[in-house]
Amino acid sequence: TKVRRSDRLIDMTRYLLERPHTLVPLTYFSKRYESAKSSISEDLGIIRRTFMQRQTGILETVPGAAGGVRYIPTIGRNEASDFIADMAHRLSETDRLLPGGYVYLSDLLGTPEVLRQIGRLIATQFANQQVDAVMTVATKGIPIAQSVSQYLNAPFVIVRRDSKITEGSTVSVNYVSGSSARIEKMELSKRSLQAGSGVLIVDDFMKAGGTVNGMRSLIEEFDANLVGISVFAEGKFAGDRMVNDYTSLIRVDDVDTKTNTLHAVPGNYLDYNQAMFKGMDA
């Protein structure tokens, strides 16, 4: 029996939301609802318009026989700005400051809604780039990488600072870690990355940038290419950071070890993506 338009719209929306960055042929929906392609096209027009108006995302249409539709998750400027302001406020709570200017984030990075929004924000910035893999370093970066990976429909790979036989043979690099100028090692299973793949680096926190820099050299070792770098928060760092082209959602701009407080403000994400957000409103 034919499926009514209202029922089709609900089921198509769910189907698309669950498959970001995935091309779905119109014929798939025609068969699923036993409806003409012209009806399905009208359905998709309604979904596209509503997604646009509510800033749920973009419904791309790929023409031709091998064509179809692809849902690109995005976040609107206002929702992004509100979330970032909320996170900056949360980080400025007392008792988050840790020795060495690090910040306690594990409660936030264990909250599903926070992880969803972080993933959506970072995936929005890279929605139109060729990201074949999302890379992070164990441990606290992993939930962020998983969330970004889900929104971009790209696998995530975990770099480790320890050797595990369960990772098989690995490529390893030495890197200068943080302000302590210690040499550390990080490695990635050889099976994780193909040469030439586009890699997005994400992490929960960047201080001196040594960790991110280590991941950059790992990407070079794999003959892969760096698409971008995005971190949830960046610490206050006096020295010259080894990394400069990155986005951060939050920036720690003041640390007072006497009163054990820190002040966090929005990072450079909104400024960096101003043109992108303007394009969405157009």
Query: Residues 208, 187: contact at Cβ < 8 Å?
Result: no
The length of the chain, given as a count of residues? 282
Q: Which is nearer to ligand PCP, 150 or 211 (CB)?
A: 211
Query: String of b and e for 266-275 (b: at least 16 CB within 10 Å)?
Result: bbebbebbee
Q: For residues 173 and 224, give the distance between their C-alpha atoms in angstroms, rounded to a whole number.
A: 15
Closest CA to 155 of 142, 146, 168: 146
In the bound complex, what is the minimum distance in angstroms from residue 165's beta carbon to ligand PCP?
19
Q: Is 43 among the residues that bind ligand PCP (CB under 6 A)?
A: no
Q: Which is nearer to ligand PCP, 83 or 205 (CB)?
A: 205
- Helix, strand, coil tally for the chain in percent (to 5): 40, 30, 30
Closest CA to 248 of 206, 187, 193: 206
Q: Is 222 among the residues that bind ligand PCP (CB under 6 A)?
A: no
Q: Which is nearer to ligand PCP, 13 or 136 (CB)?
A: 136
In the bound complex, what is the minimum distance in angstroms from residue 211's beta carbon to ligand PCP?
3
What track of x and - describes contact with ligand PCP for positions 123 through 142 (by CB under 6 A)? --------------xxxxx-
Q: Is 115 among the residues that bind ligand PCP (CB under 6 A)?
A: no
Q: Is 203 among the residues that bind ligand PCP (CB under 6 A)?
A: yes
Q: Is 163 among the residues that bind ligand PCP (CB under 6 A)?
A: no
Strand runs labelled E in the chain: 23-24, 57-62, 68-73, 97-98, 102-103, 133-137, 156-159, 170-177, 182-189, 198-206, 225-234, 247-256, 261-266
Q: For residues 42 and 47, give the distance between their C-alpha atoms in angstroms, rounded to a whole number.
A: 9
Stretch that binds ligand PCP, among 7-15, 28-36, 73-81, 209-217 (CB under 6 A): 209-217
In the bound complex, what is the minimum distance in angstroms from residue 59's beta carbon to ligand PCP?
36
Q: Is 101 among the residues that bind ligand PCP (CB under 6 A)?
A: no
Q: Which is nearer to ligand PCP, 5 or 140 (CB)?
A: 140
Task: Give the binding site for ligand PCP (CB under 6 A).
Answer: 137-141, 177-178, 203-211
